[in-house]
Amino acid sequence: MNRLLLVDDDVELAEMLRDYLAQEGFAVTLAHDGEAGAQEALSGQYALIVLDVMMPRASGVEVLGRVRSQISTPIIMLTAKGDDVDRIIGLEMGADDYVPKPCTPRELVARIRAVLRRVNSTPTESADNLLQIGELTLWPGKRTAQWRNAPLELTSTEFNLLLQLARNAGRVVSKRELSEQALGRSLTRFDRSIDVHLSSIRHKLGRRPDGQSWIETIRGIGYQFIRE
């Protein structure tokens, strides 16, 4: 049974979601403020953390920063509907996905399962096999990466996106394809999560010698990892 941590100061909503998630096979621990949520999250005993943005004692964004600096547990943010600022900040700081509130329990379960599938997937590559494109080296089996012979720290979602682009290096990959293969869900209108994750990856890779990005945006089509 997957253990989840749900951090939300709306006690009634949190208990309702806990009961629903229990029916879906998850064991859920609740925390109702940011400070308690951060302490519980840092125990490292959870497969995934669901984290509300607006909370007392510490905001979800503050908790995200504290947790992500110490452990790599997948995190889904609960954000106010239409609040793009919190959404983008959360993704930039390492959240794996977000769900706008109010949300249905069914939608939350679908997002949780999609993230867990990405994290727990067993790729055909063994831990010893690698994918090398220029100065980028990826070990899909171990889910680790190197860039220019130095460890490349990536979130789970960033790793999946970069892996898909590297596997198709020199070819344009559509945004829809990236969403389905790397995020495990269909692309929705106005969803900017891929753009934000790719912005973070670009920052970590730096610039090519000509000053351009290693990941090019092909407007209206998709993205391409540039071969050296």
The model's pTM: 0.70
Query: Which ranges in 98-172 belong to alpha helices (H)?
Result: 105-120, 156-167
Same domain, 109 and 202: no
Q: Considering the domain boundaries, does residue 126 fall inside one?
A: no
Q: Considering the domain boundaries, does residue 150 fall inside one?
A: yes
Same domain, 100 and 12: yes
State the total domains in the chain. 2
Residues 6+ apart with CB under 8 A from 153: 204
Of these ranges, 34-43, 88-97, 134-143, the one predicted with the greatest mean pLDDT is 34-43
Same domain, 44 and 115: yes
pLDDT > 90 in the chain, percent: 33
> What is residue 122's predicted lDDT score, i.e. its pLDDT?
47
Domain of 61, CATH number, reads 3.40.50.2300
Same domain, 103 and 172: no
Least confident of 19-28, 62-71, 150-159, 175-184: 175-184
Range of the domain at 215: 131-225
What is the rounded average pLDDT of the residues 78-96?
78
Q: Average pLDDT of the chain?
A: 86
Same domain, 146 and 100: no
Query: Are 34 and 60 within 8 A, CB to CB?
Result: yes
pLDDT band at 4 (very low <50, low <70, confident <90, very high): very high
What is the rounded average pLDDT of the residues 136-143?
86
Same domain, 84 and 162: no
Q: Considering the domain boundaries, does residue 215 fall inside one?
A: yes
